[in-house]
Structure 1
Amino acid sequence: MPDRWRRPHTWDGTWAGKILDIIYGHYKKALDLLPLEDKTELAPRLLDAGVCFGFADPVTNIIANTLSFGEPAPDGSIKRRKRKRKPKTNASEEARSREEVLSRIVAGDGPSPPEARTVAERSLEGLVSFLTSYFRYLPNWDALRYLSLARADLLVAVSLIQKDHCYRYKDQFRICSPAVKTSLKCAAWSARQPNFDGFLAGCFALVPHINKITQTLSAEGRCRLTAHDISFLSQLLANPPKLKRSDKPMDLVAKRFHDPEPKIAASIEDVPGELTESLRGVLMDRVHEHYLKAVSRFPMKDLQTHHHRGLLKAGYCFGPFDPVSNIIINTVWYGTAFPPSEEFGVDMICTLRHVESRSANGLMAFVRSCSPVISERKAMVYLLKCNLDVCEAIQMAKQEGCDVSICDDNGYKAAAKAAYHPNPEAYCEFVVQSLPALRSTVRSLLRPSHMLAPIEILHLSTLLSFSSVESLEPIIHLTEDALNQITNYKQDFLTQQSFVRGKVEAAVRNYEQSKGCYYDLGVICGVNDRVGKVTGIFDTKFQYTHANFWASQDNGTSTLFFAEFSNDEDSNYEPICYPVCGLPTQVRCCYCEYQGIRIVHPIGSWWEGVNGFEKIACGEQYFTNTEIVGRWKLIDNRVGIFVQDYVYLDPAHDAKLIQAVNKAERVRNIDMDAEMRRRKSEPAAGH
């Protein structure tokens, strides 16, 4: 690039600076194609709204966005200004004129305020905003690296990320999905598009005509578009047909590289291996999906009265069967082998996050124990491609040339240790020595997608009851301070559970009245009570709670629901309730992601946070994507002690946890005593 093409100093030497150099090249090509002398109105339009992102290649996007921009007429159409044609100029004057326009696109000597940034800088902000709004867990820095590989081509970057994150076909980019529309709005807000609605309409209007417009722009021997070409393209964009299922701009992505698919595949390998954070988030989403399926296959009453404890303490998804079956088997086995000192029932599981995080660590440790050359990132890739089946993941590694050992007891030992299993020795003995003799019987009992009856759970418990039961005499006792703290935790849990249960029941009753049907409320399996604005004055309190729960009808079918309700007891806010399916990647909630809680939200319904990422793009939210990513990274990687561990603490089986609680309370008391002594030693005010 010429020396006069300078960037803001804040971007020099970064990925952003390199991408801006690439973007400047796209604008030079677009300017070379546009007949600026015959259509003098094009230059100001390009400088105002000709951003390089959209559903085509960057140069086509620049031209299409330029042509789509105009002043909105009263009837909603685009009014284009007519200007007098200037006398023809010679070639040197044309080149100088284009250089002047290009100099207004290229950034100046230093960083400029947002309102003064060039269309190229705004394009880069829009590109990053689209990617971080569309993909969960994607840090801005990673988005920039993918954009650099994609040469600032938005859909090529989308393709790279999808392939690098092992997206399944059902989760891949869909032009009319809510997630795409929301992300495009976020990009437009970030880029400060002057005609917001016109830009959105123009992007979708381009899709049915991408092939025709691309052919026009890349016609052999063409040096520049004519005034007739501009009129033709403008009419196409002004009168778009309805989108068809066959309109798939992603089909054209491979053609953007000189070599089609192999070039993109090679670029994926160029993504640095340390970009594992967002990949772990994708893995955790997949793990959560399996846990939701496992919960739905338990008889709800059995789960609420007994098996909730085994699920949260040892219901890991690794083992010799598919992940859902492993969760069920490990849950039932632990409850049978290590029964609680005292049974208690629950209506609510606040979050499955801690057992899911431990499961993910166990899965990766299992794969890596079979081959030391497999990195953490590669282990996650194998697991995602094999739907979390450890043995299939190891087989895939072997097919790719890794020197691997078979699935044996070393793998289970590594998995149990990494997952903080409460009794790893007993688990390894169970899964390696005892369970193989029962595999065919257990497999026939756990038919895919089959909701187990109470008698089948009882049969499974009997099958797995060969393990010796531990003595119920506690080895280590809780100190008085620790016991008081555990009692407080349990009381807080029961208070929250009572409140949430009442609100969810009200939401279900509203839904039943609107649909004319009846549902039996099952277990609440995810709660985020920090949604919306802070309303508490003396104690921190938020407006709403988001929750997932299972409910069943008389025919035995169980449905996952989403509910939103007010956190005030006497609020007039009517709780809302919608059935949801699976874990749709097309719906995001900034509040739940900020808290690191996986809640399944409905598509296309009004709930607090549905426009949260648009507010982030506009700067109206109190946190940013960077803060969301930072929080979930800390939360998802945590495998130590959780509050739920305190609720389920059992003196007969949790000696290590009791030691940790006793130590924590001892340290806290020491700190409090030290603080009291410090305050007493301070001189009184005024002395």
Structure 2
Amino acid sequence: MADRRRRDESDGGSADTWDDTWEGEILDIIYGHYKEALDALPLEDMPSLAPRLLDAGVCFGFADPVTNIIANTVTFPTKEVGEPERDGAKKRKHKRKRKLETNGSGEARAREDVLSKIVAGEGPSPPEARTIAERSLEGLVSFLTSYFRYLPTWDALRYLSLAKADLLVAISLIQKDRCYRRKDQFRIRSHAVKTALKCAAWSARQPNFDGFLAGCSALVSHINMITQTLSAKGCCRLTVQDISWLSGLLVSPIKLKKSDKPMNLVPIRFHYPEINASIEDVPGELTESLRGILMDRVHDHYLKAVSRFPMKDLQTSHHRSLLKAGYCFGPFDPVSNIIVNTVWYNTTFPPSKEFEVDMICTLRHVESRSVNGLIAFVRACFPVISEHKAMVYLLKSNLDVCKAIRMAKSERCDVSVCADNGYKAATKAASHPKPEAYYEFVVQSLSTVISTVRSLLHASHMLSSSEILRLTTLLSFSSVESLDPTIELTKDALKRIANYKEDFLTQQSFVRGKVEAALRNYEQSKGCCYDLGVICGVNDSVGKETGFFDTKFQYTHANFWAIQEDGTVALFFTEFSNDGDSDYKPFCYPVTGLSTQEVRCCYCEFQGIRIVHPIEDCWEGGNGFEKIARGELTITNEGIFSRVKLIDNQVMGIFVQDYIYLDPAQDGKLIQGVNHAEWVINLNLDDEMRRIKSVPAGGHYPQQTSLLI
């Protein structure tokens, strides 16, 4: 059975969607689950169970695989369930029983016949011809990749193999591997779980979609009773009365109780202690996935840090230092480190010219550089540990590098030497604009005021302008570097910087107008009043492509902070049309949590822009992953993973924000890099023009791609 078909692009998936080894191994496991379910079902007394199983008896749900098969089979509608049999049916049943008494192997052959229809045949098959086992596997993979971010299909198959095709066991393993906090754990009532279950049902082509979803909910509401009953039956055959009882339970609309927690039953089912979800020898893809989780956690900290700045102070001056040097490593907790590093850089290396903004398009570059710095810090203190293990320590410590080091610290480690090496490695890995000055600040100067700074930042409220001013005074240490420029910008570099700033200001004006309109609409509907703060996170590539010559998309998603009348700040999500003349009414919703775990947007994830979305599905992309499961979008899970992997790792080089925030009085090394980049671009353009002239009419030439993000 291990020689299985390989799914290709003609099947509606990407060429790397399936792996021969994993698929064959997992299908063999699934066949075992179906054999066990067939042995338990009373097929002779209820022959309609066989076609119902073949049609809808998928092995995924919120119980163990065998229980799921049985439950999904009996919830598939038929007239026979729960109805008394007619006299003729009883006579035929007795006749069959007498025949089987003379031929004891007849019943076994009947079950083998059903099982043979479940086992996959040789060679590829179209989606509509796939067996219930194959559809179950597709549903399992779809659930995991729709629920978990940064989970490629290959990893999903690996986890399913380890979990013996048990969905909740696989979820438990992934959560353990990713060091999930309690608040991020799998919750049966969450929006993310409901969405993933719908994706699984679509992928498995469940014939009774709504009935399947209702049956899964009903199973959860009776999970303990059903599990105990079926476990007590053991290897015994279920009776018609058992099926009738089970069917009655699964069709009754019972409200879920807090005590119904399917994940509590996972340790009872899982009997493979040799499988360790935190193994050292992990595949490279798993490390890449862990980096994505780390980036999400870092983004949470940056949103919290932004909310603690006085909005006017952030918009007038600190936005620059936040993006250039506001890293989350240092001697404090991550949020305090971001604030301290931002204020220190702005104090020590003030801009030669103020540049006020209303919008920060994305934080991903400083976030990605922070992650590099954190990993380098831990590994510099403990060179023997792997990058993956360093990430594990950071996740377990909620990115507090001091706590991470204490976790990994050996008894012989010299803490002072560890810190020295760590900061040197972190500033280098994070491409700090002033590494020597920062090292002197954090290792030597900061120690004289560290207690006062910690006390000032201890509370979680928004800091006042006077508190920021006090912090500025505390962190005012002399710089070890000269501020004189070492090299001048070339004419081409100056022109490019001017163009980027002009484009940024044009976009900012458009976005701010739309956000203000959305906030006004919200205020009118709720009868409240807000002042708009900073817009942090903008994705203008949502929905379908529009335009012909200038490619743009239908909508923009963004987060912004707004200040309430009592002085507290709230994070909002907004969606608006990119067409200035559109009648589409911009709207916004407050988002109560900062985590991006609960709700996913395929458009924002594909662009690598972390935006917190509301649970309401009224925004474009709210059901995007369901459309992916139905094959209605060109975006795929593999495409999202590959693109995010590329973007999150692309921290070197020069980006658009570097051009916008370049200061001739501060950034000598960056100026040299920008000048060189312009020289390369012009050189490439000259070569391109020569190639164009040399191409005959009707010919083709390779296109250049921009490295700027």
- TM-score class, shorter-chain normalisation, is over 0.9
> For 2:451, what is the secondary structure of its paired residue?
helix
1:165 aligns with 2:178: yes
Residue 223 (structure 1) aligned to one of 221, 236, 257: 236
- Checking the alignment, whether the CA contact within 8 Å between 1:41 and 1:81 is kept in structure 2 is no
Q: Structure 1's 604 and 138: CA in aligned 2 closer, same or farther, altered over 3 A?
A: same
Which stretch of the first structure deviates more once superposed, 405-414 or 6-15? 6-15
1:429 Cα deviation after fit? 0.3
Q: 1:432 aligns with which of 433, 437, 443?
A: 443
Q: 1:195 to 1:441 in 2, by over 3 A?
A: same
Contact 1:52 1:61 in 2 (8 A): yes
**TM alignment of 1:518-597, pairs within 5 A:** 518-580=529-591, 581-597=593-609
Report the 3-state secondary structure (helix = DSSP H, G, I; strand = E; otherwise coil) of the residue aligned with 1:384: helix
Counterpart in the other structure of 1:39: 46
CA gap of 1:193–1:605, structure 2 versus 1, over 3 A, is: closer
Question: Tell me, what secondary structure is at the counterpart of 1:534?
Answer: strand
- TM, length-normalised to structure 2: 0.92
Task: Please give the alpha-carbon distance, in whole angstroms, between the structure 2 residues aligned to 1:248 and 1:9.
Answer: 36
The aligned residue for residue 599 of structure 1 is 611
Does residue 638 of structure 2 align to residue 631 of structure 1? Answer: no
Distance 1:318 1:80, change over 3 A: farther
Q: Distance in 2 between matches of 1:322 and 1:55?
A: 38
- Any residues of structure 2 matched to 1:457-496 within 5 Å, and which? 457-468=468-479, 470-496=481-507
Structure 2, unmatched stretches of 5+, are 8-17, 700-709
What whole-Å deviation, never above 9, does each CA across 1:31-84 have from its counterpart, x for those lacking one? 1111111110000000000000000000000000000012699xxx99999993
Quick one: distance in 1 between partners of 2:67 and 2:532?
Answer: 53
CA drift at 1:398:
2.5
1:8 aligns with 2:5: yes
- Counterparts in 2 of 1:65-80, with a 5 A limit? 65-70=72-77
Tell me by how many angstroms 1:215 deviates. 2.4
Give CA deviations for 1:572-601 in whole Å, capped at 9, x if unaligned.
111111111212411111110010000011
- Residue in structure 2 matched with residue 200 of structure 1 by the alignment: 213
Q: Does 1:397 align with 2:405?
A: no
Match of 2:624 in 1: 612
1:674 is matched by which residue type in structure 2?
D
Q: Distance in 1 between matches of 2:397 and 2:565?
A: 36
Deviations 1:442-476 (A, max 9, x none): 11211230211111111111111122375443211
- Aligned twin of 2:676: 663
Counterparts of residues 120-199 of structure 1 (less than 5 Å): 120-199=133-212
- For residue 368 of structure 1, what is the aligned residue in structure 2? 379
Are the counterparts in 2 of residues 532 and 542 from structure 1 also a CA contact under 8 Å? Answer: yes
Amino acid at match of 2:276: A
- How far residue 267 of structure 1 moved from its aligned partner, in angstroms, is 4.9
Asked if the contact 1:6–1:106 (Cα under 8 Å) also holds between the matched residues in 2, the reply is no
User: Contact between 1:371 and 1:405, CA under 8 Å: does it hold in 2?
Assistant: no
**Residue number among 55, 74, 79 corresponding to 2:62 in the alignment:** 55
Give the Cα–Cα distance (whole angstroms) in 2 for the partners of residues 620 and 80 of structure 1.
44
Q: 1:97 aligns with which of 107, 110, 114?
A: 110
Distance 1:478 1:219, change over 3 A: same
Give the superposition deviation at 1:546.
Answer: 0.5
Supply the AA of the counterpart residue of 2:76: F
C-alpha distance after superposition, 1:396-435 (max 9, x if no partner): 1127x89675542111010000000001000000000100
Deviations 1:81-120 (A, max 9, x none): 9993542223211111111111110000111111100000
After superposition, give the CA deviation of every residue in 1:101-155 in whole Å (9 maximum; x if it has no partner): 1111000011111110000000000000000000111111111111111000000
- C-alpha distance 355-68 of structure 1, shift in aligned 2 (>3 A): same
Matched AA of 1:170: K
1:557-586 per-residue CA deviation (whole Å, 9 max, x = no partner) reads 011111100101111111111111212411
Distance of aligned partners of 1:333 and 1:226 in 2 relative to their CA distance in 1, 3 Å threshold: same
Indicate if the aligned counterparts of 1:30 and 1:63 stay in contact, CA closer than 8 A. yes
Whole-angstrom distance in 2 between the partners of 1:168 and 1:591? 26
Give the deviation of 1:221 after TM superposition.
Answer: 6.0
3-state SS, counterpart of residue 232 of structure 2: coil
Extract unaligned runs of 5+ from structure 1: none
* More displaced 10-residue stretch of structure 1: 83-92 or 303-312: 83-92
Distance 1:403 1:115, change over 3 A: farther
| Equivalence for 1:654 | 667
Cα 1:211/1:6, change in 2 over 3 Å: farther
Measure the CA separation in 1 of the matches of 2:562 and 2:292. Answer: 28
Which amino acid letter does the alignment assign opposite residue 121 of structure 1?
E
Contact preservation (8 Å) 1:563, 1:576: yes
Q: Which amino acid aligns with 1:33?
A: A
1:584-641 CA distance string (max 9 Å, x none):
4111111100100000111134111100000000000111000000110001111122
**Alignment partner, residue 419 of structure 1:** 430
Deviation, structure 1 residue 439: 0.7
Counterpart of 1:388 in 2: which secondary structure?
Answer: coil
User: Structure 1: which amino acid aligns with 2:184?
Assistant: D
Question: How far, CA to CA, are the matches of 1:626 and 1:685 in structure 2?
Answer: 35
The offset of 1:334, in angstroms, is: 0.4
Mean CA deviation greater in 453-462 or 498-507: 453-462
Amino acid at match of 1:43: A
Partners of 1:468 and 1:78 lie apart in 2 by 83
Question: Which residue identity is paired with 1:360?
Answer: V
* 1:481 positional shift: 1.1
The aligned counterpart of 1:29 is 36
Pick which of 453-462 and 57-66 moved more.
Answer: 453-462
Contact 2:220 2:260 in 1 (8 A): yes
Give the CA deviation at 1:244.
0.6
Counterpart of 1:296 in structure 2 is 307
Deviations 1:200-234 (A, max 9, x none): 11111111222222222222564211111111111
Q: Secondary structure at the match of 1:14?
A: helix
1:301-312 correspondence to structure 2 within 5 Å: 301-312=312-323
Shift of the 188–405 alpha-carbon distance from structure 1 to 2, 3 Å rule, reads: same
Give the residue type in structure 2 aligned to 1:174: R
